[in-house]
């Protein structure tokens, strides 16, 4: 692709892209597109593009590249993602011994850090299945403060020096003398650890995360902030950074329960898109804190409930009356039931039509039943889901099966049933829980470990592009059609195909007579597309150096 110079979204400036494959429902055979300022002006064929060539300010020759809408990641923790990218990341580390060695090396390489921060360990695949002990971490760090979150960020192991910074830590819910901290104890040590992050470190981390997002074709992210996750300064700083520099769009959510109209003023003052995101109704399966109807298979309890149906109902009613989107984090079946019961009660108060119109959302929504799926559809709830969770933890020997047993684990993340019921899906990563990897996310949904939960690549792609925009109330974006925002990505990839989700016929088709825009072949094991350029509002925010 020629001319990597960033395209400025100047008023009236026009750009013609030609000679590629443009993924557009407006024309399944499109090979060219015209951008005017920050808006798509035209999509069509190569022959028709000749009529535009002399009247535009720039011509970009695609040389056969694929152009798609930029992806939207509907659930991201930007600062934590950046800190993992530039700091201590234990994602995928195969043994406890290697994890401790990485901690030791990181501590030696960062002698001036007041608190060592790390993320990503997962002991479920380690021999013995145990996380590092406090004594082991004290030794590896030389007695320095360390916060090391589990892959799901719902528990953490820490050193004695960090515990000493938290008053009354031993009396807090979720404190364990020599096991991962959960619940309030975890939230307290996390707050103490992140209080050490300077404004400069935070900005560097946010910039690194957004740059990485752009490099993989993500044009917008939904930042899921809140008092139990990150501070107000973190959210407002991120929104300010995103508004002031070229990069992905950031739509911020603030996860704090409200009980009155006055409480919504903070949400508005922070610039948040809603009082939603990780407003915890429960925790996570990996940390044994997702709230279940029946006990875990590998623990003698049913998890942790943070909000009940009455609190959900109050929050949803206030938000709906105030014209603010509400939402919750709910993973376990008991937590999902609490959300459904609470939203239903709010509908009885403010009216079902207003609840549906507000497009309230539920993050993760992993343990669903046919009844809860039907309720999601009836209440107009958006399911903000992360298919990479299934890729990482699904299957008969994965973490889900360890926590729940094989039969219950097979019911998790039923994307096909959600779509059949008419529940809107918005796909994301929950980064840094799983990586920013949009094509990998689409692949994970299309090749779910439980075959009956699979959706077509086309449906997953739509949920990862247009679905994220619809989740914030925008139906005019996330698709390459005239009048839509000029947010797109350019990819080097192989032959485009059309997947057929019905397993009774061939899985893939290259027949152009299908009249359906093709997508890359995402069969597991194959190479995923490589992002050449990402454009947001008509401005290039990433350009691959060697193109």
Question: CA-to-CA distance for 501 and 508, rounded, in angstroms?
Answer: 9
Question: CA-to-CA distance for 507 and 493, rounded, in angstroms?
Answer: 19
H helix or E strand, kind and range, residue 401: helix 399-404
DSSP 317: H
Contacts with 112 (C-beta within 8 Å, 6 or more apart), sequence order: none
Cα dihedral value 387, 391, 392, 397, nearest 10: 130
Cβ atoms of 118 and 90 closer than 8 Å: yes
DSSP for 179-205? S-B-HHHHHHHHHHHHTT--HHHHHHH
Cβ atoms of 180 and 287 closer than 8 Å: yes
Task: Indicate the pairing of strand 66-69 with strand 488-492.
Answer: antiparallel
- Entry pTM: 0.90
CATH for 202-472, among 3.40.50.10380, 3.40.1390.10, 3.40.109.10, 3.20.20.140? 3.20.20.140
Question: CA-to-CA distance for 249 and 385, rounded, in angstroms?
Answer: 20
Give yes or no on whether 14-69+479-493+529-543 and 202-472 have one common fold.
no
DSSP for 372-392? HHHHHHHHT-EEEE-HHHHHH
| DSSP 3-state of 427 | strand
Quick one: CATH architecture of 78-195?
Roll (3.10)
Question: CA-to-CA distance for 121 and 303, rounded, in angstroms?
Answer: 20
Distances (CA, A) of 530 to 447, 491, 520: 20, 5, 11
Q: At how many degrees (to 10) do helices 199-215 and 78-86 cross?
A: 90
The domain limits of the chain are 14-69+479-493+529-543, 78-195, 202-472
| Local confidence pLDDT in tens for the 547 residues of the chain | 433 333 344 456 899 999 999 999 989 899 999 999 999 999 999 889 988 888 899 999 999 999 999 999 999 999 999 999 988 999 989 999 999 999 999 999 999 889 999 998 999 889 888 999 999 999 999 999 999 999 888 899 999 999 999 999 999 999 988 889 998 999 899 889 888 888 999 999 999 999 999 999 999 999 999 997 888 999 999 999 999 999 999 999 999 999 999 999 999 999 999 999 999 999 999 999 999 999 999 999 999 999 999 999 999 999 999 999 999 999 999 999 999 999 999 999 999 999 999 999 999 999 999 999 999 999 999 999 999 999 999 999 999 999 999 999 999 999 999 999 999 999 999 999 999 999 999 999 999 999 999 999 999 999 999 999 999 999 999 999 999 999 999 999 998 887 665 443 334 434 444 457 889 999 999 999 999 999 999 999 999 987 6
Cα–Cα–Cα angle for 256, 259, 262, nearest 5°? 90
Q: What is the CATH number of domain 14-69+479-493+529-543?
A: 2.30.40.10
């Amino acid at each position: 692709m020629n001319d990597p110079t960033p395209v400025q979204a100047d008023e009236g400036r026009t750009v013609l892209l030609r000679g590629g494959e443009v993924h557009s429902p407006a024309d399944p055979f499109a090979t060219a597109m015209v951008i005017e300022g920050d808006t798509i002006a035209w999509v069509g064929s190569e022959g028709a593009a000749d009529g535009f060539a002399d009247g535009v300010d720039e011509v970009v020759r695609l040389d056969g590249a694929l152009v798609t809408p930029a992806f939207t990641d509907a659930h991201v923790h930007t600062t934590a993602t950046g800190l993992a990218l530039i700091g201590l990341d234990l994602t995928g580390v195969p043994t406890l011994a290697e994890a401790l060695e990485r901690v030791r090396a990181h501590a030696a390489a960062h002698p001036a850090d007041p608190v060592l921060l790390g993320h990503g360990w997962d002991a479920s695949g380690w021999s013995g299945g145990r996380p590092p002990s406090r004594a082991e971490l004290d030794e590896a760090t030389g007695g320095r403060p360390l916060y090391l979150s589990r892959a799901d960020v719902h528990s953490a192991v820490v050193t004695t020096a960090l515990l000493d910074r938290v008053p009354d830590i031993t009396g807090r819910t979720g404190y364990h003398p020599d096991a991962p901290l959960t619940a309030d104890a975890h939230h307290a040590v996390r707050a103490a650890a992140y209080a050490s992050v300077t404004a400069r470190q935070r900005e560097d981390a946010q910039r690194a995360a957004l740059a990485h997002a752009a490099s993989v074709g993500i044009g917008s992210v939904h930042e899921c902030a809140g008092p139990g996750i990150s501070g107000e300064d973190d959210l407002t700083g991120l929104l300010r950074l995103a508004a002031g520099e070229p990069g992905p769009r950031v739509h911020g959510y603030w996860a704090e329960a409200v009980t009155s109209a006055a409480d919504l003023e903070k949400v508005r003052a922070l610039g948040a898109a809603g009082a939603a995101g990780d407003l915890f109704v429960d925790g996570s399966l990996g940390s044994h804190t997702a709230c279940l109807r029946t006990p875990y298979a590998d623990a003698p309890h049913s998890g942790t409930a943070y909000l009940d149906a009455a609190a959900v109902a109050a929050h949803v009613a206030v938000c709906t009356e105030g014209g603010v989107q509400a939402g919750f984090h709910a993973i376990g079946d008991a937590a999902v039931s609490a959300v459904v019961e609470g939203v239903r009660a709010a509908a009885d108060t403010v009216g079902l039509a207003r609840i549906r119109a507000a497009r309230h959302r539920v993050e993760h929504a992993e343990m669903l039943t046919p009844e809860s799926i039907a309720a999601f559809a009836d209440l107009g709830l958006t399911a903000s889901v992360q298919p990479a969770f299934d890729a990482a933890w699904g299957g008969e020997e994965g973490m889900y099966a360890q926590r729940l047993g094989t039969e219950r684990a097979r019911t998790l993340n039923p994307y096909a049933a959600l779509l059949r019921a008419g529940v809107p899906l918005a796909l994301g990563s929950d980064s840094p829980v799983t990586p920013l990897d949009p094509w990998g996310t689409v692949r994970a949904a299309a090749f779910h470990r439980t075959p009956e939960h699979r959706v077509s690549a086309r449906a997953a792609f739509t949920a990862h592009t247009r679905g994220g925009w619809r989740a914030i109330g925008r139906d005019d974006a996330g698709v390459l059609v005239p009048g839509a925002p000029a947010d797109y990505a350019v990819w080097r990839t192989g032959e485009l195909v059309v997947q057929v989700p019905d397993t009774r016929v061939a899985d893939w088709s290259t027949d152009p007579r299908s009249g359906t825009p093709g997508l890359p072949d995402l069969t597991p094991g194959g190479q995923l597309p490589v992002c050449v350029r990402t454009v947001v509002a008509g401005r290039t925010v990433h350009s691959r150096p060697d193109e």
